[in-house]
Chain A
Amino acid sequence: MFAEYSTSELLSIFAMQGVAGLILFSVFVLMALGLAIIFGQMGVINMAHGEFMILGAYVTYLTSQVFSTYLPELFSIYFILAMILAFIVAAALGALVEWGMIRHLYNRPLDTLLATWGLSLILQQLYRTVFGAREVGVTLPDWLMGSYQLTDSIELPVNGLFVMTLAIGISLAVAILMYRSRWGTQVRAVVQNRAMAGAVGINTAKVDRITFALGCGIAGVAGSAFTMIGSTGPTSGQLYIVDTFLVVVFGGASSLLGTIASAFTISQAQSTMEFFMSGSMSKVLTLLFVVFILMLRPQGLFTLKVRR
């Protein structure tokens, strides 16, 4: 399939698709980070994760509406506020869900999966009722439009760059939080040995709630970022949930670095193949590849061999 292209053409194709892949990568990372925290650290499968992301997207949409109507002079910076709001709203809903549902199901992972699927259906219908079935998009402030021309054939869209920066920033923040803060130590202690963590005075119920809320909050920020590169509909979240789960599982559920590396691999593979075949076939091949690797290495790419 490479035969009909010259070397330089191939190079710029790879570069171009690489840039497109980087944006997909950023979305994957943002979504997968929240999921990896919840699944990797708590062992909870949150099927409604996509809906938490969409919640962030709708919050961003509402904020942009409010700013363009009442505060047009501040419109260029609405996005910062929107992201903070998206985080708060999604995290608050997450805490509520943890309190009402998840905490009763901690030792029944398959049941959590079904219950959160139910939650995702309810949220989807709620969005449809409130915002309508049509997709909504936000208007980007001027500074996020346009693109940098790198070479003749490669250009970097500014919004894409911004999302990438965001993804990197949030990843770093999460890594610092998990591995450098006292709270991160507590979370990891609870994961390792719940009973012992409780015995040394860690409030495990509180740690669980904050962890779940944090994961959902990050999903909200992901949704906020998502509005900059695509429009939002009630079922947009569902489109990504399986891919994101594969990203997390592929990377090895408890490893943040693994999550990022696997998001990179999957997004690059998919977007590079997309140029040479139909989108659906490249997706099929990517998914098959991931499933195949998981069969060879069920514990994921980045897990240590541990003593049972």
Chain B
Amino acid sequence: MSYQRFSALFPKKEMMGFIVLAIILAVVLPLSLDIFRLNLVGKYLTYAFVAVGLVLCWGYGGILSLGQGVFFGLGGYAMAMFLKLEASDPESTKIQSTPGIPDFMDWNQLTELPFFWEPFHSFGFTIAAIILLPCIFGYIVGVAMFKRRVGGVYFAIITQALAAILTILIIGQQGYTGGVNGMTDLRTLHGYDIRTDSAKYLFYFVCVFMLFVCLFVAQFIRKSKLGRLLVAMRDKEDRVRFSGYDVANFKIFVFCIGGVFAAIGGAMFTLQVGFMSPTLVGIVPSIEMVIFCAVGGRLSIIGAVYGALIVNAAKTSFSESFPELWLFAMGGLFIAVVMAFPNGLAGLYNTYAAPKVDAFFAKLFTKKPAVATTAPPPAITPSVSKPVVTKTETPVIPQGAIHE
């Protein structure tokens, strides 16, 4: 990527947001938290994947999916199936009446591995499934709904029904899925014990890395014409259609991307927490994922990460000390975020904190003219004039630095 395209993708202010988030996640938290708490943060971050996807679907595209848990579950269960098979080798399951199959199948009188489990012996297949399953599923649902112009609340209700269907199915077919308990007792990944502290550290960093991969993809989409088209469609769908675009395709695309993000999150959840269960798939978790996104700010991908972290951290600490207050707080949050601050934390930051931060930085770099405070929206300036401006403003940051 040339320098010019890079600075178009990451204008200075947004770049700072990415760097600050990277420092917090990759340096500050690992240094200040013990492994138990860090593992919890890792778990919260898996929801951030979903929230970032929702920013694209809902914030930009105006498509509210109340079934993101389905995608989270697809990724999580795919990973769990692989790990479960590895934990169910004939040696360690020899006390079962059929050794070599997962324990819950044995309890449900299954005598051989169902055919759709077979490919999950392969790690390569599992990784491919985590990416492709949500794409395929998202594509089918997307084509069926968006090509027929189902949208808005109808789409929300139907995706919610899908989440309900999947949960009922998983619980009902316990011989194939582990039922209501989910898939537990996952042990190793290629012989590497996932329950040790060192594994938890490793997976935390893998999770942070993957989150930044998703954030970069999301940022690329936001900054492309596709991002602007999504905003345009949210506003005047017909105008976009009569400007020569097949609107449904764009919605399908962004719905699939959101699904893939959620599935990666689900897979990271299984790896870090060590189990997967239908309670993470259904209606309630799916709609909670929307609130992570809304609290962060439905138009901010960075905000979505903070939203997921803060709401989940609050949930944990509330549930530890005042479990009965948590639902009140959560319910209040839903109402407040809709009625009082619809742009979430990012909106609050932009209104109240950003001017002060800008002033601070302007003072810090006084030798340069304080352009930053009144920087014009860069998206509009014709790109010919851009490199001249940005070269003097952007601190030189090696691209690799933000990955870690």
Contact = CB atoms under 8 A, between A and B. Distances in A.
A112 B333 CA distance: 13
Interface string B324-337: 10011011111101
A168 interface: no
Nearest to A292: B144
A298 B334 CA distance: 28
B329 to A, nearest CB: 9
A55 B37 CA distance: 40
Contact of B168 (A110, A115, A283): A283
A110 B59 CA distance: 11
A69 interface: no
A298 B146 CA distance: 10
A212 B353 CA distance: 39
B161 A104 contact: no
Interface in A82-123: 101, 104-105, 108-115, 117-123
Given A114-B291, A128-B324, A119 B335 contact: yes
Contacts of A119: 331, 334-335
Contacts of A112: 338
Interface stretch (A19-27, A178-186, A202-210, A242-250): A242-250
A213 to B, nearest CB: 19
B283 A242 contact: yes
Nearest to A246: B161
A115 B339 contact: yes
Given A121-B330, A121-B334, A287 B154 contact: no
B165 interface: yes
Given A128-B324, A287-B164, A298-B154, A118 B172 contact: no
B294 interface: yes
Interface in A126-170: 128-129
A121 B144 contact: no
Interface size class of B (residues with CB under 8 A): 35 or more
B342 interface: yes
Given A122-B327, A242-B283, A283-B168, A291 B158 contact: yes
A49 to B, nearest CB: 12
A278 interface: yes
Given A280-B171, A291-B162, A245 B335 contact: no
Contact of B157 (A118, A122, A245, A281): A245
A121 B327 contact: yes
Interface in B113-169: 144-145, 148-150, 152-154, 156-158, 160-162, 164-165, 168-169
Interface string A165-196: 00000000000000000000000000000000
A101 B324 contact: no
Nearest to A298: B150
A280 B171 CA distance: 8
A101 B342 CA distance: 14
Contacts of A109: 152-153
A245 B283 CA distance: 13
B262 interface: no
B153 A110 contact: yes
B153 A113 contact: yes
Contact of A101 (B156, B157, B290, B339): B339
A280 B169 contact: yes
Contacts of B162: 291
B64 interface: yes
A271 to B, nearest CB: 16
Contact of B145 (A117, A118, A129, A295): A295
A118 B158 contact: no
Contacts of B161: 242, 245-246, 287, 290-291
Contact of B149 (A101, A128, A283, A298): A298
B15 interface: no
A278 B294 CA distance: 38
Nearest to B327: A125
Interface in B321-362: 324, 327-328, 330-335, 337-339, 342
B149 A287 contact: no
Contacts of A245: 157, 160-161
B296 to A, nearest CB: 14
Contact of A113 (B156, B330, B333): B156
Given A113-B156, A246-B157, A283-B168, A105 B327 contact: no
Nearest to A248: B157
A19 B155 CA distance: 33
Interface in A284-302: 284, 287-288, 290-291, 294-296, 298
A141 B324 CA distance: 35
Contacts of B172: 278, 280-281, 284
A112 B339 CA distance: 9
Given A117-B287, A118-B332, A294-B150, 13 more contacts: A111-B338, A114-B287, A118-B330, A121-B328, A124-B327, A242-B164, A242-B283, A249-B158, A280-B168, A287-B168, A291-B161, A291-B165, A295-B150
5 contacts: A110-B64, A118-B334, A122-B328, A246-B157, A284-B172
8 A-B pairs with the lowest CB-CB distances in the bound complex, closest first? A118-B334, A280-B172, A121-B331, A122-B331, A125-B327, A118-B335, A118-B331, A115-B338
Interface of B: 58, 64, 144-145, 148-150, 152-154, 156-158, 160-162, 164-165, 168-169, 171-172, 283, 287, 290-291, 294, 324, 327-328, 330-335, 337-339, 342
